[in-house]
Every structure is written in C-alpha cells, then in structure tokens.
Structure 1
Amino acid sequence: MGHGGDVIQELTTDHREVDDLFNQFDDAAPGSPDRKRLVDAITIELVQHSVAEEMHLYPAVREHLKGGDALADKELADHGRVERLLKNLEALDADDSVFDATVRELRDEVTGHVDDEENNLFTQLRTHVHQQVLDRLGEQVREAKKTAPTRPHPAAPSTPPANKALAPGLGLVDRARDYVTGRGQ
C-alpha cells in the first residue's frame, strides 16, 4: 500500500509503516545503534503523522461526526501520551537500562491508538463523511507532513489555529537539527 488516496488510506499506510519500523526494531540487536536509529525513524513518522492529524483530521472529526468533540479529544489525549514517551526516548541511548521498556510502552500506546482509529474512527468517517471531503483531507494531511516537525514537542499546541501557525516553524528547526546531526538519514 503506497501513499495517496483519501485520508483513511493515507493514515492507514502510515500505520503500516510504523508497524514495520517496530518489527525492524525487534529484529535489531539489543543495545545496538540500529535500535536508536529505528527509534528516531519511528519518532519522525509518528510526530509528522500526529501533527497532520491534529491540523486536519481532528477538526474534521469535530465538524462532521456526531460526538466528534469527544472523539477528537480522546485522540488528542492518546497523542499526548505518545509524545511524552517519544520525548523520554529522545534523551535515552539504546543501551540505557529503560530504553527497551520505554519502546515497549510506546508500542503498546501506538497499537491501542491505531486499533481504535482504524476500527472506530475510520469506520465512522467512511460512513458519515462525503468521499470528496475524505479525498481533500488526504491531500491536506500529505501536505502537512511535508513541513511538520520531526521531533516531539509536548508543550506545543495540538489544536487549530495555533498548531497550524507553529508546526511549520518547528518543522523547519527540527529539519535543520536533523541535517546537522545526520538524524533520520
């Protein structure tokens, strides 16, 4: 499954890519630099994915779904927990005594979030939102990921309009830091 299509297809592709990165992490030797590199890749994918959802998907959920405010608030709370774990991992080396346990906790959080999104939220979107809206959201999400941050920023706003104003600037700074350090390359 490649990127493209409506918002559900786009985000589902992201989910499978993160699953694959977690599987690669499992296959890497404990304490190895490959594990840290893979956590960096997981972080980049999750942060860009989350920011794009927060900018475009969750406002649409609030607008188009009955009970959308509660659904969006739950998803944002999930993102907050994941982002705090990512921030913790950012400061750890692969041979740190809590590194693997923190990755397991992250994977559990992400898996629960993905299961809920794919089996609940995406089903409701497919049923209640016009295909043209889903297609437009897919394009908006793809565009947002291009300028989204690549590092966790737990204190950054997660709802519009503040997140839409700040995310591209944070993304630029993150990409500059990544370029200098070689992270994610």
Structure 2
Amino acid sequence: MPDTDAPTTPGPQEDVVDLLLAQHARIEQLFLLVIGSTGETRRDAFDDLVKLLAAHETAEEEVVHPLARTLPGGSDAMVDDRLDEERQAKETLKTLIAGGVDADGFDVGIILLRDAVLTHARYEERYEFPRLRQHVPADRLRSLATAVRAAEATAPTRPHPSAQTAKGNLAAGPALAVIDRVRDAVRKPSQS
C-alpha cells in the first residue's frame, strides 16, 4: 500500500486528475482518522483535514472548475452543482472549526461533513474528471497539476465560503491565506 503521508510529487505522467484523485483518497483517510481517534490525535488530524480541504477546494475553484466550464455539453450546470456542494461543505466545516473537536455535536457533524465531501468527490470523479480527460490534451492536464500545486501553496488554510470563484479566490485568497497562516502560527504553540 502506498505511503499516503508522503507528498505526491509530479511524476512525468501525473496529471491534474491523478493529483486530485490522490488528494481525495487522503481526505477520506483523514476523515477516518478524525472519526476514529480522540484527544490530540483527533485535533491534529482535524487540522490536517481542514488545511487539505481548504487548499484542495481553492485549487479546484481556481484551476479545474473554470476549465471544466469550457468543455462541451452542459458543463456550467455540472460545475455550478460542484460549487454549491463545496459552499455547503465550507459552511459546515466553518461551524465544526468554531466549536472544536470536543464540542457537543462534533461527532455527528464530522460524519455528515464526511458524507457530503465524499459524495462531492465521487461526483467529480464520475462526471467532471472523465470529461477533463476526454476533452483536454494530456500534456495540458500534466501542466495543470503544477498549476493546482501553485494554487494550493497560496491557498487559505481555513474554509472561506464567500471566496468560491476563481476571481474571488484570486482577489481575496492571498489576504485570507496570510491571515489563516498567521492564525495557525499563533494557535499552534498554545495547543502544545
């Protein structure tokens, strides 16, 4: 079984779909870890999950969804549905973050969030990703993996439901990312 904690580095054949599929698998593993653990392990896993979800969705909103909109055959409705799912998940995630992993209702909330996020991922895998592979040249898909990594590197580390479009992420994302990273740095020592 591959080491999913190891960073996925772009190989000569890795494309944006490969990258996003690997992230979907890591997200699923983190949900299992959050749900199945307690204490500091749960807090750390939840923090990792929040950061991965925030970066992953920002990259999709900046790179993948705008490209998918350009594909033939009703792509706007498909992308609008994915964006609505992402917005709802961000709202739920924001509530879970505010309460913390020890809050009443966290166990139910994290399971509901997991179900929503994994359903969203399956819709992307079934409808959006195959269309990308069908209509976008392989070399462009490989270069998009680099673009997704760049978007993730500057993405906020917390969900921001109001910044959900490429324009919104590009306008507000860098400022939100700085704020989130400062908040993360300030909070980390106090959790020790």
**What is the CA–CA distance in structure 2 between the aligned matches of 1:170 and 1:97, rounded to whole Å?**
28
What SS does structure 2 have at the residue aligned with 1:91? helix
The runs of 5 or more residues in structure 1 that have no matched partner are none
2:125 aligned to which of 94, 118, 126? 118
Matching residue's letter, 1:172? V
Partner SS, residue 72 of structure 1:
helix
Distance in 2 (CA, whole Å) between partners of 1:13 and 1:39 is 18
Cross-structure match for 1:9: 18
CA-CA distance at 1:57 after TM superposition: 0.5
Structure 2 CA distance, aligned partners of 1:115 and 1:89?
Answer: 23
Identity over aligned pairs, percent: 35
Measure the CA separation in 2 of the matches of 1:55 and 1:118: 18
Q: For residue 136 of structure 1, report the CA deviation from its aligned partner.
A: 2.0
1:28 aligns with 2:14: no
Deviates further, 50-59 or 112-121: 112-121
How far 1:134 moved relative to its partner? 1.1
Deviates more, 1:173-182 or 1:100-109: 173-182
Q: Which amino acid aligns with 2:15?
A: D
SS at match of 2:100: coil
TM-score (norm 2): 0.88
What value does the CA root-mean-square deviation take over the aligned residues? 1.9
For structure 2, the 5+ residue unaligned runs are: 3-7
What is the rounded CA distance, in whole Å, between the counterparts of 2:43 and 2:53 in structure 1?
15
Structure-1 residue corresponding to 2:182: 176
Contact 2:69 2:79 (C-alpha < 8 Å) held by counterparts: yes
Deviation of the 1:147 alpha carbon: 0.7
Displacement of 1:26 in angstroms is 3.0
Query: Partners in 1 of 2:156 and 2:112 — Cα distance?
Result: 22
CA contact (8 A) 2:16 2:148 kept: yes
- Indicate which of 164, 170, 184 corresponds to 1:164: 170
Is the aligned partner of 1:136 residue 2:143?
yes
For 1:67 and 1:52, the matched residues in 2 are separated by 22
Q: CA deviation at 1:121?
A: 1.2
CA distance in 1, matches of 2:105, 2:124: 28
State which drifts further: 16-25 or 80-89.
16-25
8 Å Cα contact 1:33-1:94 kept in structure 2: no
Residue 22 of structure 1, CA deviation: 1.3
Using structure 1 for the length normalisation, give the TM-score: 0.91
